[in-house]
Amino acid sequence: MYFYSPSKGRLTLEETFGDVVKYIKEWPREQYKLIIGTDSHSHYDTSIIFVTAVIVHRVGKGGRYFFRREKHRYMESLRQRIFFETSLSLDVASQFTGMLAENGHSQLNVEIHLDVGEKGDTKELIREVVGMVIGSGFDARIKPDSYGATKVADKYTK
């Protein structure tokens, strides 16, 4: 599994995690959030690009982000796509929280940003995907507060 950093290029999961921890250690007294969100975009009804973003946010003082792109077969069902986006975010969050716990950073607040909102076609899916996230032990955010998915990940889907 590889992630990309706008400033450092291609990184392994472990290198990405190391950069997140290094960023936190620069200013250890600040408040941080680890934000994970996935967005997708279909290409010519033949495939879908899924992008999962990992953002370490130094609250009130900026942050860094990393992203991973995956190409999958076309999914006609919006419901299937949203559930797949959620599962990709949960997979990355689980891997990160496992490494955080092993390295003494288990107190870091982890949020999953979902590409669903009260307006539009995804409103019927909110309760289900938020339930998936909360049931997995993470905080969930939906539009308009889910910038990890709707801004950062979305930027790299096209």
pLDDT per residue over 87-104, tens digit each? 999 999 999 999 999 988
Decide: 142 and 117 in contact? Cβ < 8 Å. yes
DSSP bridge pairs for 12: 2
Determine the pLDDT at residue 107.
85
Residue 120 and residue 147: Cα distance in Å, rounded?
Answer: 17
Determine the pLDDT at residue 29.
94
Report the share of the chain in percent with pLDDT over 70: 100
The mean per-residue pLDDT over the stretch 119-136 comes to 96
For residue range 25-77, list pLDDT tens digits in order.
999 999 999 999 999 999 888 899 999 999 999 999 999 999 999 999 999 89
Determine the pLDDT at residue 139.
97
Determine the pLDDT at residue 138.
97
Structural element, H or E, at residue 43 = strand 32-43
Determine the pLDDT at residue 143.
97
Burial class of residue 23 in the structure, from the number of CB atoms within 10 Å of its CB (0-12 exposed, 13-18 middle, 19+ buried):
middle
Determine the pLDDT at residue 115.
96
DSSP bridge pairs for 48: 42, 72
Burial class of residue 37 in the structure, from the number of CB atoms within 10 Å of its CB (0-12 exposed, 13-18 middle, 19+ buried):
buried
Does the pLDDT at position 106 exceed 90?
A: no
Determine the pLDDT at residue 24.
94
The predicted model scores a pTM of 0.95
